[in-house]
Amino acid sequence: MIARLNYRLLPPLNALKGFEAAARLGSFRRAAEELHVTHVAISHQVQQLETDLGCLLFTREGRGVVLTPEGRLFHEYVRQALESLLTGAGILRRSDPKPRCRSETYVTVAIRWLSHRLSRFHAAHPEVNFSLNTRRTEWWFDEANTDVAIMYVDRDVPASLRSRHLFGGTLFPVCSPGLLETLSPVLAPADLLKLPLIEVSSAPNDWRDWFAVAGVDAVPSPRYQKVDTYALALELAINGAGVAMLNGPFADTELRSRQLVLPIDLVAQSRGYWALLYRADRERDPKIKAFANWLLADVEADRTRMDHGPAGNPVQ
């Protein structure tokens, strides 16, 4: 016989969503925006829980809030409980019996790097349905709607997330052979300033960082054409419109076929790295584990297959 639950000992259940959101976001205001309620409602829900539990769950720090030791402990249990409810509800709602792995990444990563790999994942794991959403510009991991994300990481990763290194960030310029001929022979990195340079607006430091490593100072900003993705920068470079600065293995095919060339054979380390991210408390989820292990193995296979350098192995 299943034991009876003592419902009188349960905390106010309607307050748990507000507490979880505030704990995760570190802000009552942001929690209210996410849940489409007022800031006062979140504050009242937290006060209800604190009164019921007999302890403080948050302390204020600047404009945000920080969990107390008691709050951190309670948050772990609340996350587990809500996650279990979501999983159970998802099983009942799901019309397809296969588990669905929800992923997000940038447009460039999806089109120029991940898309041609997915057939190998489907062949290795036909039991997993895979959905992919893309973002044009910078975003942070969407814990509510994403299982795994491929992201460029240039900040500290919170303890709630697990980060698996894919490859380092490497900066190197590319252009069409025809454009390079107008400058040939290239003598030094500063000679690139005679050509139109293409800058990705979400990565404004790429060219500056590369020129700094190359020993070129005072780069004039008016020389840049600005676009919003590496994918668009690459298309412009392929068509001879300028020199694009890359951060990652997104032009390997074009470099091998010599649709693109390196005008200067100089690779600089960027400020971050490319990683697969997922929630640490879901590391044992079968679909997340399957995709993470497969992708890391696939990247390692590429690493051993390809020649060194930006056209082969982007990990320096």
- 189 token code pair: 């990195």
Which pLDDT does position 260 carry in this prediction?
A: 95
pLDDT band at 67 (very low <50, low <70, confident <90, very high): very high
- Tell me what the mean pLDDT of segment 39-68 comes to: 92
Confidence check: pLDDT of 36 > 50: yes
Which pLDDT does position 159 carry in this prediction?
A: 84
Q: What is the mean pLDDT of the chain?
A: 86
d(CA 246, CA 234): 8
Establish whether domains 10-93 and 100-161+272-305 are of one fold.
no
Which pLDDT does position 145 carry in this prediction?
A: 79
Pick the closest to residue 201 from 247, 156, 233, 167 (CA basis): 233
Secondary structure of residue 192 in the 3-state scheme: helix
Most confident of 156-165, 217-226, 304-313: 156-165
Confidence check: pLDDT of 23 > 80: yes
pLDDT band at 315 (very low <50, low <70, confident <90, very high): very low
Confidence check: pLDDT of 316 > 60: no
- Tell me what the mean pLDDT of segment 180-204 comes to: 86
d(CA 235, CA 12): 55
Confidence check: pLDDT of 311 > 80: no
pLDDT band at 25 (very low <50, low <70, confident <90, very high): very high
Secondary-structure breakdown of the chain: helix, strand, coil percentages, each rounded to the nearest 5: 45, 25, 30
CATH of domain 100-161+272-305: 3.40.190.10
Strands (E), the chain: 58-61, 64-67, 100-106, 129-135, 148-153, 161-174, 197-200, 224-227, 243-247, 268-279
CATH of domain 170-270: 3.40.190.10
Confidence check: pLDDT of 179 > 70: yes
Lowest mean per-residue pLDDT among 129-133, 143-147, 262-266, 280-284: 143-147
d(CA 271, CA 109): 18
d(CA 121, CA 103): 13
DSSP 310: T
Domain boundaries, the chain: 10-93, 100-161+272-305, 170-270
pTM above the 0.75 mark?
no
Lowest mean per-residue pLDDT among 10-14, 39-43, 68-72, 99-103: 99-103
What is the share, in percent, of the chain residues with pLDDT greater than 70?
A: 90
Which pLDDT does position 135 carry in this prediction?
A: 78
Confidence check: pLDDT of 271 > 90: no
243-247, strands of its sheet edge to edge = 129-135, 100-106, 148-153, 268-279, 161-174, 243-247, 197-200, 224-227
- What is the separation, in whole angstroms, between the first and last Cα of the chain? 60
Gyration radius (Cα) of the chain, Å: 24
In DSSP terms, which residues pair with 175 in a beta bridge? 261
What are 141-146's contacts with CB under 8 Å, separation 24+? 141/277, 142/104, 143/24, 143/279, 144/34, 145/102, 146/102, 146/103, 146/104
Asked if residues 40 and 60 have their Cβ atoms less than 8 Å apart, the reply is no
Secondary structure of residue 207 in the 3-state scheme: helix
Asked if residues 137 and 202 have their Cβ atoms less than 8 Å apart, the reply is yes
- Tell me what the mean pLDDT of segment 280-296 comes to: 90
What is the share, in percent, of the chain residues with pLDDT greater than 90?
A: 52
Q: Domain 10-93 - what CATH class?
A: mainly alpha
d(CA 33, CA 43): 13
Task: Report pLDDT digits (tens) over 201-248.
Answer: 888 889 999 999 999 987 766 567 899 889 999 999 999 999 999 998
d(CA 236, CA 175): 9
